[in-house]
Chains A and B, each alone.
Chain A
Amino acid sequence: MSGRVIVITSGKGGVGKTTASANIGVALANTGASVALVDMDIGLRNLDILMGLENRVVYNLVDVVEERCKLRQALVRDKRLPNLSLLPAAQTRDKTAVNSEQMKKLCQELKTTFEYVIIDSPAGIESGFQNAIAGAEEAVVITTPEMSAVRDADRIIGLLEARKDEIEHYRLVINRIRPSMVNNSDMMGVEDVLEILSVKLLGVVPEDEEIIISTNKGEPVSGTDNTRSGLAFRNIARRLRGEDVPLMELDIQNGSWFSRLVKFFNPVRV
Chain B
Amino acid sequence: MVVGSADWSSSLTRCEFKSGGAEKVQVLNWLFRTADTDSSRVKAKDRMRNMLVYDRLELPAGRIEILEEELLAVVSRYFELDKETTRFDLQQYDRRAALIANFRLVRSKC
Show the binding face of A for B, using Cβ within 8 Å. 147, 150-151, 154-155, 157-158, 161, 182-189, 192, 195-198, 260-261, 263-264, 267
B95 cross-chain contacts in A, Cβ below 8 A: 157-158, 161, 197-198
B56 cross-chain contacts in A, Cβ below 8 A: 154, 158
19 pairs, CB–CB < 8 Å, chain A vs chain B: A147-B47, A147-B51, A151-B48, A151-B51, A185-B36, A185-B40, A186-B40, A188-B44, A188-B45, A188-B48, A192-B41, A195-B45, A196-B52, A198-B95, A260-B27, A260-B30, A260-B31, A263-B27, A264-B27
Taking CB as reference atom, which chain B residue is nearest A181? B41
Q: How many residues of B are counted as interface, with CB atoms below 8 angstroms from the partner's CB atoms?
A: 25
- With A185-B39, A264-B24 known as contacts, the answer to whether A155 contacts B55 (CB < 8 A) is yes
Taking CB as reference atom, which chain B residue is nearest A263? B27
Taking CB as reference atom, which chain B residue is nearest A191? B45
B26 cross-chain contacts in A, Cβ below 8 A: 184
In the bound complex, what is the Cα–Cα distance between A264 and B27 (angstroms)? 7
A161 cross-chain contacts in B, Cβ below 8 A: 95
B84 cross-chain contacts in A, Cβ below 8 A: none
Partner of B52, one of A151, A185, A186, A188: A151
Check A185 against B42 for contact (C-beta < 8 Å). Answer: yes
CB distance from B93 to the nearest CB of A (A): 8
A264 cross-chain contacts in B, Cβ below 8 A: 24, 27-28, 31
Taking CB as reference atom, which chain A residue is nearest B56? A158
A197 cross-chain contacts in B, Cβ below 8 A: 95
In the bound complex, what is the Cα–Cα distance between A187 and B45 (angstroms)? 9
Among A150, A155, A260, A264, residue most surrounded by chain B Cβ atoms (within 10 Å): A264
Among B28, B29, B44, B56, residue most surrounded by chain A Cβ atoms (within 10 Å): B44
Question: B9-43, CB under 8 A of A: which get 1 and which 0?
Answer: 00000000000010010111111000010011110
A195 cross-chain contacts in B, Cβ below 8 A: 45
In the bound complex, what is the Cα–Cα distance between A196 and B56 (angstroms)? 12
Partner of A147, one of B27, B29, B44: B44
CB distance from A15 to the nearest CB of B (A): 15
A185 cross-chain contacts in B, Cβ below 8 A: 36, 39-42
* Residue B94 CB within 8 A of the other chain: yes
In the bound complex, what is the Cα–Cα distance between A197 and B21 (angstroms)? 38
In the bound complex, what is the Cα–Cα distance between A150 and B51 (angstroms)? 11
* Residue B49 CB within 8 A of the other chain: yes
- With A154-B55, A192-B41 known as contacts, the answer to whether A184 contacts B29 (CB < 8 A) is yes
Check A189 against B41 for contact (C-beta < 8 Å). Answer: yes
A158 cross-chain contacts in B, Cβ below 8 A: 56, 95
Check A150 against B48 for contact (C-beta < 8 Å). Answer: yes
Known contacts A188-B44, A195-B45; 9 additional CB pairs below 8 A are A147-B47, A151-B55, A182-B41, A183-B30, A184-B26, A185-B40, A185-B42, A196-B45, A261-B27
